[in-house]
Amino acid sequence: MKLAGVLLLITAVAFSARAEQARFDNYRVYELSIVTMEQLEVLQYLENYPDGYIFWESPVQTNMELSLVVPPHKYADFAAFTAKLGMTPRLKIKNFQEVIDNERPNKNRRDGFGWTDYYSVAEIYAWLDSMVAQYPSILTKKVYGQSYEGRDLVAVELSHKTGNPGIFIEAHIHAREWISSATATWLLNELLTSTNSAVVDLAQNYDWYFIMVSNPDGLEFTRSDNRMWRKTRQPSSILCFGTDGNRNFDYYWRNGGSSTNACSDTYSGPTAFSEPETEKMAEYYGTIASRINVQFSFHSYGQYLLTPYGFTGAPAPDNNADLQQIAQITAAAIRETHGTVYTYGNSAQVLYVTSGSTNDYFMGVHGTKLAFTFEFRDTGSSGFALPANQIIPNAQETLNGLIAFVAEAKALGYM
Ligand code: 0X9
Ligand code: ZN
């Protein structure tokens, strides 16, 4: 009796304390083109009442592509409603669980931090601390706030000398985009250890500001509960959690391409800067903005290099011709590395409308002249669950892109 009671208690504790990772067995992923208003409205309705569907992009406008994860119990419904809407879905993934199972082949290896696997917030922060300890005269750690769940919000600054132009990189604001922080940590490691002369030049003659994990609560939630989580984790309504950090910045906030529905993946938040993660990042940026020449946001997926502004009816920035020129050179350098093809252009034109994004805020409010979003690999065969063996090639092509970017920006007088 007594033993049974204890066992029962242990089992109960084990079940309540350990989060259950959602599985996606036989979930299919389809790509759709939204053309008509009717298609848009039906998909928007579905996003609000998803009942098992998972959107990889929010349906915000006609003339956009969107990937949709379809659970087995919706196969028939999905075929029926897309046919009624005159849509021709393209099957990209037959069993999404298989893609997730192939994402981390080395996850059971215990050989320290590296770039053949993805890591937790604690592991990333511990590695950053070890690098700061190893390079105390070059690297500085700044804790610029705490997340909603109380995790540190951390920036690292790399500087070899005073007076360098500044480059700010903000990664992993979207929880499921694991490749974004993996690429950022790899870049920092190269800047600290590479003997390649082009990389040494970047390290010594520019100051680098990195936020590796802008949304630590979200990253942890993707590891414990739901790999497809995107937003922050502050409750947004009785039923739903989270705000899209990249819709929560205070510049033309709620001006298109975001949702006022608290359950949507592109929820703008109740007010601009409602999330500690975005408010604190903006505060931190305010302290360094005068020293920043270039700002990069790291995201996935799609292989895009995007320029501001994103909001509805936005004017082109005065220096748009330079932005496109630099983007073209960067995309060419990326392609020369491993053949990866990037599409570049204004984010609202080549992707979709967005408002309250980091790029728009840093350019519009702080006058940062060069602000770009990278959407890393791939184009949808794995989507957000990019196999870890692509971290290094993705990072290598990004580094080559950055080398070409900085050279062109310098030639055009931005550094
Ligand atoms: O929707 C987004 O926030 C970004 N795409 S993602 O699939 N990673 O979610 C694109 C944002 C691009 N817009 C601007 N930076 N203005
Ligand atoms: Zn993103």
- Sorted by where each starts, the structural domains of the chain and their CATH numbers stand as 22-101 (3.30.70.340), 121-411 (3.40.630.10)
Contact by Cβ (8 Å): 305, 402: no
| Model confidence pLDDT, tens digit, residues 352-361 | 999 999 999 9
Question: Average of pLDDT values for 271-293?
Answer: 98
From 113, 102, 228, select the one nearest 174 (Cα to Cα).
Answer: 228
Q: Which atom of ligand 1 is nearest to the CA of 311?
A: 16
Q: Residue 364: what residue type?
A: G
pTM (whole model) above 0.75 = yes
| Model confidence pLDDT, tens digit, residues 187-202 | 999 999 999 999 999 9
Contact by Cβ (8 Å): 377, 394: yes
Check if 375 is active-site.
yes
Among the listed residues 47, 57, 375, 397, the single catalytic one is: 375
From 353, 300, 73, select the one nearest 171 (Cα to Cα).
Answer: 300
pLDDT of residue 2: 52
The pLDDT confidence band at residue 14, using thresholds 50, 70 and 90, is very low
| Model confidence pLDDT, tens digit, residues 136-171 | 999 999 999 999 999 999 999 999 999 999 999 999
| Model confidence pLDDT, tens digit, residues 317-372 | 999 999 999 999 999 999 999 999 999 999 999 999 999 999 999 999 999 999 99
Q: Find all residues with CB under 8 Å of 206, minimum gap 6, and list them.
A: 164, 165, 166, 167, 406, 415
Ligand 1, CB cutoff 6 Å, lining residues: 174, 177, 246, 297, 299, 306, 308, 310, 347, 351, 354, 357, 359-360, 373, 375
Q: Find all residues with CB under 8 Å of 3, minimum gap 6, and list them.
A: none
**Averaged pLDDT of the chain:** 95
Q: Which atom of ligand 1 is nearest to the CA of 58?
A: 1
pLDDT of residue 5: 53
Q: Per the structure block, which two tokens stand in for 339?
A: 């053949």
Q: Please name which ligand lies nearest the alpha carbon of 244.
A: 1
Q: Per the structure block, which two tokens stand in for 141?
A: 């750690």
